[in-house]
Structures are given as structure tokens and as C-alpha cells.
Amino acid sequence: MSAENEFSSLFATESEVGSVAGGVTLPAWQVLLVDDEPMMHTVLHFAMQDMVVEGRRLALSDASSSTEAQAALLRQPDIALILLDVVMETTDAGLRFVEYVRQILHNRKVRIVLLTGQPAYALERDVIANYEIDDYRVKSELTSDKLFTCLYSTLRTYQALHDLELKLPIEKLAMELQTANQQLTIEIADRTRAQALAGEQMHTLKEVNKRLEEAQYQLLQSEKMASIGLLASGVAHEINNPIGYVSSNLGTLESYSKGFLDIIEAYEAGADTDPQTRLARINALKESLDFNYAKGDVVALVQETTDGLNRVKSIVQSLKDFSRIETADTWAMEDVTKGIESTLSVVWNELKYKCEVRREFGEIPPVECVLSHLNQVFLNMLINAAHAIVEHGTVTIRTGCAHERVWIEIADTGKGIVPEHLTHIFDPFFTTKPVGKGTGLGLSISYGIIKKHHGEIEVESQPGHGTVFRIWLPIRQPASEEGMIPAP
């Protein structure tokens, strides 16, 4: 068949094609025509210009060589169909272009239809078997209907591949989401179990902590009672002295009272008694009583007795304040100086024979604390100071305020602490005292009490010259997470 007949065959009668679907303009199919014969481009344009496939028109572009086709494909990667001549600048240019598209660009979605003017059955079978093309057409046998059928099938295949390409990431995403959801479900279950376990452990920890606090509280009270026990003889002596002179004074007052009553009876003798006789009797009674001395002595005896009873009352009150066992720790704004004084009353008999106690109290505000616990700290440090003094020395108690904190300093002129012991003095059961003289818990408990008050204890010591303990306490306790002050 001549070239003219080959081209004219494209205008054979064909059925009417579809139009724009539903009145909606759809994007056109991108079709690339690759042929080195200009007439072939003209004929194909004319034959395809009004074709509509799946409601979409065709947008045609041209290339006259495989090189131009490569450039066109790079510029326009959404080309759906390539109508490709085999023989162009070389006898196999079309086949080389197919290899470029499939193997170099790895584009297996674009449809490729070979159009050849040299039909041969062996060649067609060889091309179909060895090259990734989608159709093989002989130009001389290509009618308008066949062209439309070829276009329709290849473009529909392209659309199916395009939809699949879009669908695969969605399906992959769905699978990934499903996997992630399954993993999340497992993690949620694991976390739920972990939270339940943590809840149980927290409950157990709270119970253990509660028992530990109870044990610590009992230890504190035991140490307090042990301290009072060690000081019992001294406290008894401190009480016995004022009780002794109160008892003596009461005996003297009893004697004076009898003399005064005798004089009163003489004044109240009957009217029949001779006044001179009655007066002589009264004067004799006054003289035997030493009335003028007794009259002045009564006032002094009453004052001394009152002072003695107040001293006993003070010691008893100090003991009550110090040894008070509370069912719950009561945090309040307290006068720390008052606490120091009450502690000195309890420990005084331990200090007075070997120590001169100097008070250098500064102006300090009330401190938020559990005062009975701080009293235990003061007691432990004062007893340690007394024990550190071998014969006679000085214990100085100072107080002051700085930077929203108050400080209490207890210094002694005792034998001091050797450097190797300084790092252990707050350890439980550590003591340098002889067996039976100390439990080794005093400073450990004191350290815990001060820490629970959010305070600090500092210590400075020089062997042979004495030791200084300095306590720092915040004026106000910081609130805990629950808004409550933590109990020591």
C-alpha cells in the first residue's frame, strides 16, 4: 500500500465518539506523538483532534526523534500515551527510547504503542516479547476505529494504573495506621497495667512510709524520754532545792502563826481583865516571839516561798513542754527563744556545775515549727556541749536573723571533735562516748528534725578549743504539693 493510501486509511468511517462527561470539563489526556515524518504528525492530529475517551479530550504534543521525546517526557511527566515510530534517526531509535523510559526512568505507567511502516510477523512477536510495549500497530492497517480502540484501551489501562498508584499509598497508609493502632492498643494495655502496678506500688510505698514515720516518731519520743531519764536525778535535785526551803519556810511561818494567834487571843481577853495585866501579857508574848523581827520576816518568807513554788512550777512546765507526746505534729508560729529557755531549765543541773551559760539572744521573729521537736535538738546539743567540757568551760547560745531565716548557735569551749569524726557525727549510732554514756542517736535525730523543718545544721570544731553548732531555720515553711506543710 502506498503512503497516501496508508494515511488516507485513517479517515475510514468510525462511530461517533463521546463528549465531555456530565457537562464537566475534565483534564485532557496527554498524548505524545513521536515520528520523524511530518506528514504522520499532521494525519494523526487530524484523526485524533475530536476524539474523547472516558469523557476527556486529547492534548497532543509532538517529537520527531527519540532525543526530542526524552526531553518532552522529562518536561511533561504526566504523559499518558506515547505513539512511537520505530525507525527514526536510527533503525531502532524507537526501541532504544522504550528501554530509556522503562529502565532509566523506571516509568512503567505510561502506555507505549509502536507504529511501524514495516510489518513483519516475526518482528512483531520479537518486539512484544523483548520490549515493554503495550501495543504494536502497522500504520498501513490502522483505521480510525482501530486507532480509537487502541487509544481507548491503552488510556483506560493508564487510568487504572494511575488509580492503583494513588490507591496503594492509601492502602499502605491504612495498613500502617492499622498496625500503629494495634501497637497503640498494646502500648495502652501495657501502660494501663504499668499504671495499675505503679498504683499498687505507690500504695505499698505509702504504707511503708507511714510505718517508717511512725517508727521515726516513736524513736524521737524514745530518745526524748531517754534524755529525760538521764537527766532525772538532776531535775529532781533542781526541784528538791526550792521544795526544801519552801518546807523550811512553812515551818517558820507555822511558828510565827502560833505566836501571832497567842497575841491576838491576849487582845481579845475579857473586858473584866485588868488592862495593865492584859497589856503586860501581850508585851511578854511579843517579846518571846520577837514580834518586830517576825513581822518583817513573814513578808520575806512568803516571797521566798512564792519564788520557790514558781521555780518548781517552771521546771514542771518545762518538763511537760519538753516531754509532750503529741498525737499529731502541730505546726505553729513559735518563740524559739522560749523553747531554748525551757530546754535550759530541763538540762540546767547538767550544766551549772561545769559550765557558764552565756545568752546572746538577738531579735528574732516567731518561726513556723514544731517547737517540741526543736527543743529535743537544743537538748541534745546542750548535753553534748556539757559532756565535751572536761572541768569547767563556757557554753554560749546565740540567736539572730538573716535573709528570711533565723539561726541558733550553740558553742562550747570543750575538747572539740577530731577531723576524721566530723563526717560521721550525724550518722545513726555513731558516738565517741564510753559504753552506756550515749546511744549515738542524738545528733542523727537532730539532723533529721532540722531537715524536716527545711533547715540546715553547720558544725565547726577545732580539737582542744571547742565546737560550734549553727542551726538555720526558715521563718515560714514552704508549702508541699498538696498545700500542706510536711510533718517532721
Non-local (6+) Cβ contacts of 241 within 8 A are none
CB 467 within 8 A of CB 411: yes
Q: Can you read off the three cell numbers belonging to residue 178? A: 492499622
User: Which amino acid is residue 173, in one-letter code?
Assistant: L
**For residue 266, is pLDDT > 80?**
no
For the chain, the first-to-last Cα distance in angstroms comes to: 112
| Cα gap 166→149, rounded to integer Å | 26
Q: Band of the pLDDT at 122, cuts 50, 70, 90?
A: very low
Position 481 scores a pLDDT of 42
In the numeric block, the cell 537538748 is attached to 379
Reply yes or no on whether the pLDDT at 400 is more than 90. Answer: yes
Count how many Cα atoms sit within 13 Å of the Cα of residue 484 in the half-sphere of its side chain: 6
Domain with CATH 3.30.565.10 in the chain: 326-488
Residue 71, number of CB atoms within 10 A of its CB: 12
Q: Would the pLDDT of 92 be above 90?
A: no
Alpha-carbon span 323 to 92, nearest angstrom = 112
Cell numbers standing for residue 227: 534524755
* Top-confidence range, 83-97, 114-128, 218-232: 83-97
Mean pLDDT is highest, among 234-243, 283-292, 340-349, for: 340-349
Q: For the whole prediction, is pTM greater than 0.75? A: no
Taking the alpha carbons of 271, 276, 277, 279 in that order, is the dihedral positive or negative? Answer: positive
Average pLDDT on 374-392 reads 88
pLDDT of residue 483: 40
The pLDDT score that the predictor gives to residue 232 is 58
- Which residues, 6 or more positions from 231, have their beta carbon under 8 angstroms from its beta carbon? 346, 347, 349, 350, 383
pLDDT value for 1:
41
pLDDT band for position 226 (cuts 50, 70, 90) = low
Superfamily of domain 326-488 in the CATH hierarchy: Histidine kinase-like ATPase, C-terminal domain (3.30.565.10)
Q: Give the lowest-confidence range in 177-186, 201-210, 242-251, 462-471.
A: 242-251
* pLDDT higher than 60, residue 197: yes
The stretch 455-478 carries a mean pLDDT of 92
Across the range 387-410, mean pLDDT stands at 92
Q: What angle do CA 376, 379, 384 make, to 5 degrees?
A: 130
List phi, psi (to 5°) of 273.
-70, 140
pLDDT at 422 over 90: no
pLDDT tens digits for range 5-59:
444 444 333 333 334 445 567 889 999 999 999 999 999 999 898 889 888 999 9
* Residue 449 one-letter amino acid: I
For residues 336 and 234, the model is more confident at: 336
pLDDT at 9: 42
> What CATH number was assigned to the domain covering residues 3-142?
3.40.50.2300
Q: Would the pLDDT of 233 be above 70?
A: no
Average pLDDT over residues 305-313: 80
Return the pLDDT at 5.
Answer: 46
Query: Residue 286 and residue 278: Cα distance in Å, rounded?
Result: 12
Residue 469 has pLDDT above 90, yes or no: yes
Task: Calculate the CA 251 to chain-centre distance.
Answer: 71
Instruction: Convert the chain into a string of H (helix), E (strand) and C (coil).
Output: CCHHHHHHHHHCCCCCCCCCHHHCCCCCEEEEEECCCHHHHHHHHHHHCCCEECCEEEEEEEECCHHHHHHHHHHCCCCCEEEEECCCCCCCHHHHHHHHHHHHCCCCCCEEEEEECCCCHHHHHHHHHHCCCCEEEEHHHCCHHHHHHHHHHHHHHHHHHHHHHHHHHHHHHHHHHHHHHHHHHHHHHHHHHHHHHHHHHHHHHHHHHHHHHHHHHHHHHHHHHHHHHHHHHHHHHHHHHHHHHHHHHHHHHHHHHHHHHHHHHHHCCCCCCCHHHHHHHHHHHHHHHCHHHHHHHHHHHHHHHHHHHHHHHHHHHHHHHHHCCCCCCCCEEECHHHHHHHHHHHHHHHHCCCEEEEEECCCCCCEEECHHHHHHHHHHHHHHHHHHCCCCEEEEEEEEEECCEEEEEEEECCCCCCHHHHCCCCCCCCCCCCCCCCCCCHHHHHHHHHHHCCCEEEEEEECCCEEEEEEEEECCCCCCCCCCCCCC
Mean pLDDT of 285-294: 79
CA angle 393, 398, 400 (to 5 degrees): 170
The CA–CA distances, whole Å, from 446 to 3, 219, 224 equal: 115, 12, 11
- How does the average pLDDT of the chain come out, rounded? 80
* pLDDT for res 472: 95
pLDDT digits (tens, 9 = 90+) for 142-179: 888 888 899 999 999 998 888 888 877 777 777 878 88
Pairing of strands 355-360, 135-138: unpaired
In the chain, which residues fall in CATH 3.40.50.2300? Answer: 3-142
Distances (CA, A) of 103 to 195, 266, 353, 413: 56, 148, 108, 98
